[in-house]
Amino acid sequence: MANLRSLATQVRRTSLLRVPARQTNEFSTSSRNHSYADTLPNLKIGAHTRVLFQGFTGRQATANVKESLAWGTKIVGGVKPGIEGEHLGLPVFPSVRTAQEKAKPDASAIYVPGDQTAKAIEEAIEAEIPLVVAVAEHVPIHDLLRVGDPPRRLDIVAAYITRRFILCFRHSPKQGIVAKSGTLSYETVASTTRAGLGQSLCISMGGDVLAGTNFVDALKIFESDPDTEGIILVGEIGGTAEIDAAEWIKVYNRRTANPKPIMALVGGLHAPPGRIMGHAGAWTALGEPDAKSKYQALERAGAVMVNHPEKFGEGMKTLLNNRSRIQPTQSSKAPNQKKGLHTMRRVSMNREQRTLPSKQTRSLFIKEFQAIDMLREKSISIHEANPSDSDIFLSLTIDRTSLSPCVIASTDTNFASAHTGRFPFAYSTTEISNKSSTIKSIASHLQLPETIHQKLAELVQALWEIFKEKEAYLLEIRAKLSTGGILQIQNARFGFDDAAFRSSGRQKEVHSLRNPAEEVREEVEAEKDGIVYVKLQGEGSIGTLVNGAGLAMNTVDALTIHGGHCANFLDTGGKATSETVKSSFRVITSDPRGIIMAFRDLEMSVPVVVRLRGTNEEQGQRMIAESGLPLHAFDSFEEAAKKVIGLAG
């Protein structure tokens, strides 16, 4: 059964909100005294789930509703503001409140333009819909910060922002899957299904910055779920959710006799530092652990690690067989989990020093003099000085754990944890003065004298105003405290959210500062077709062409681990058409017809290896075989990787 399958498969990233609500089948009851944790059961969608669509009559929603109905989803209607009627044989309600009163939905799927999503989410929260799923591909970050601001959460029935979608594949209930990547979720489902295993529930928290419902939330669900026999976690670069999950797993394995086996993967092991890799939140901020650190933490906690999702199926089957031979009174430690598992390949952990690139995609980083000008406009004095060991570093960004703005302060250029402090505060904050607890905490951490507190407050206040007014997501400065008690700003690096401009037309002045002529030509050209392309450094001999950011990251990782040298990261972004392939020399694995047409029309002279995986993979393999073209098609990633590395060599 796949009651919300189409909703999941057509959405790359979404937001979910869990709201304490009235008793509805298995959903939690409404009470302002309930905590956010009390809403965890709302995640357990099933045949009983009554689904409402917001933006019901739009093109995307209409297509999704049709497919959902074909799969047996219990859709109770949809909302079009101010309109009552009928669409696809289902009722149209003028508001979510009306729909809640008349149709009693358990979940709402939001299909509205990015600049209207926050308002639609708020309407669903106010109507106390227990579970809200919203397309979050182009939703401005600051819109979601406003919705999820802590004081507002208290006013809106303790609702909390989450950035995630749910897949509900229920074959024979076996595996609980939680992932940041949609494409890697599909790969994981395919792998476990091929191994004869089923899925109890597949939850993806999404690859976005704001991920209120996280890995630990999902792990708690899977721990207590009698249908879930094994747990699979798929992480990637960005944030600390994987580290939190590792701590939970460590405690779980210690306190539980014969714990459920846990396997994991972390995408982005070979992602260039600081780059945004397709997903809006797939980038490592200052002071955050990189993918290798996350991999090591999960492995130390007892999770069995793999380098590609196709290994999950047979690997989990082995672990489940081992677990069945363990008496319930025994405690299963991490080493026991790995016995007899020979399909896993350990990753070499050579930690690299973190450097900051000059460019990123899916965002705008302005030039240093432009950032300095913004500070001057806020009456901040700029005193140029050469870098020194006594410099301090301030970053105003988003704290992914508290889901709020955050000042990161450090005395170390690499923001090493021992020298770095994180100071989150509410988005509704209007003034950060020298009397505020935030400034006192920052000054104490940096060991600044009290005489400098006022200057520090003025600087942080200026950064905060720029952050809100211009919808930034990362503001970094390097400063020095002079002998005369003057805070000298040495350099600045400011990054802004492109979704505010692309979806809403806001911040035109900021985004007019961009000069594409100074950027990587291939990356700019790819962007025109809605494709995220990152040119990798070094003498890469293998081009990667992948539909999905998480899978694209993992493809680079896996090929590198096998000894390959990748020239690029590429996420097609769902624009899988033959014209896109031909115009940008990209092979799209999700549409075999696109591959064949592009190959013919472009008269490709380099060898092309295609790995197909999906609902139409048999048809795709047949089409490629019958085309007569020199394409090398594989079902197994291992075989495809060996072939392409051999051809490149």
- Give yes or no for a contact between 62 and 4, defined as CB atoms under 8 angstroms apart: no
The residue type found at 220 is K
Distance of alpha carbon 180 from alpha carbon 205, whole angstroms: 5
Q: Sorting pLDDT into bands at 50, 70 and 90, what band is 346? A: very low
Element (H, E) at 384: none
Q: Is the pLDDT of residue 10 over 70?
A: no
Q: Please state which of the ranges 202-211, 218-227, 347-356 shows the lowest mean pLDDT.
A: 347-356
Q: Look at residue 13 and tell me whether its pLDDT is greater than 50.
A: no
Residue 419 annotated among the catalytic residues of the structure: no
3-state class of 603 per DSSP? coil
Q: 353 pLDDT exceeds 60?
A: no
Note the pLDDT tens digit of each residue in 150-200. 544 433 333 333 333 444 444 455 899 999 988 898 899 989 998 999 888
Helix 96-103 and helix 114-126: axis angle, to 10°? 40
Residue with the bigger pLDDT between 429 and 160: it is 429
Task: Give 20-79 pLDDT, tens digit per residue.
Answer: 444 344 555 444 455 677 788 888 887 888 999 999 999 989 998 998 888 888 999 999
The two beta strands, 199-204 and 420-424, are: unpaired
Q: Given this model, what pLDDT does residue 376 score?
A: 92
Res 579 pLDDT > 70: no
Start-to-end CA span in the chain (Å) = 45
Q: Which of 156-170, 301-315, 379-393, 603-617: highest mean pLDDT?
A: 301-315
* Position with higher pLDDT, 59 vs 16: 59
Per DSSP, which regions of 25-173 are E strands?
A: 50-54, 74-79, 85-87, 90-93, 107-110, 131-135, 165-167
pLDDT at 613 over 50: yes
Better-scored residue on pLDDT, 208 or 8: 208
Q: What is the pLDDT of residue 135?
A: 64
Can you give the pLDDT at residue 616? 64
Structure confidence at residue 535 (pLDDT): 83
Q: How confident is the model at residue 339 (pLDDT cuts 50, 70, 90)?
A: very low
pLDDT at 482: 73
Higher pLDDT, 10 or 281: 281
Whole-angstrom CA distances from 26 to 46, 47, 55, 355, 525 are 9, 11, 26, 48, 49
What percentage of the chain reaches a pLDDT higher than 70? Answer: 76
Reported confidence tier of residue 237, pLDDT bands at 50, 70, 90: very high
Q: What is the pLDDT of residue 213?
A: 75
Q: Greater confidence, 582 or 195? A: 195
Q: List, in order, residues 6 or more apart from 617 with CB less than 8 Å away.
A: 635
Amino acid 624 reads: I
pLDDT of residue 160: 34
Residue 264 confidence (pLDDT) above 80: yes
Q: What is the pLDDT of residues 508-551, one digit of tens each?
A: 999 999 888 888 877 887 787 778 888 888 777 777 877 788 98
- With beta carbons less than 8 A apart as the criterion, state whether 169 and 5 touch: yes
Please return the burial class of 529, using the count of CB atoms within 10 Å of its CB with bins 0-12, 13-18 and 19+. Answer: middle
Residue 421 has pLDDT above 60, yes or no: yes
Exposure letters 21-47 (e unless 16+ CB within 10 A, then b): beebeebbebeeeeebeebbebbbbee
Mean per-residue pLDDT for 397-407?
90
Burial (CB < 10 A; 0-12, 13-18, 19+), residue 583, is middle
Residue 452 pLDDT exceeds 50? yes
CA–CA separation, 210 and 134 (whole Å): 13
pLDDT at 490: 86
Whole-number pLDDT of residue 409: 94
Give rounded-to-5 percent helix, strand, coil for the chain: 40, 20, 40
pLDDT mean over 137-158: 66
Residue type, 637: F
Query: Catalytic: which of 142, 270, 279, 453?
Result: 279
The answer, yes or no, to whether residue 19 has pLDDT greater than 90, is no
Considering only residues 335 and 172, tell me which one the structure prediction assigns the higher pLDDT: 172
- Mean local confidence (pLDDT), 479-495: 82
Distance separating alpha carbons of residues 371 and 445, to the nearest angstrom? 25
Cβ contact 265:344 at 8 Å: no
Lowest-confidence pick of 83-97, 128-142, 334-348: 334-348
176 and 218 Cβ atoms separated by less than 8 Å: yes
Residue 515 CB coordination number (10 Å): 9
The answer to whether 236 touches 298, Cβ cutoff 8 Å, is no
In this prediction, residue 8 carries a pLDDT of: 35
What pLDDT was estimated at residue 468? 96
Is the pLDDT confidence value at 437 over 80? Answer: yes
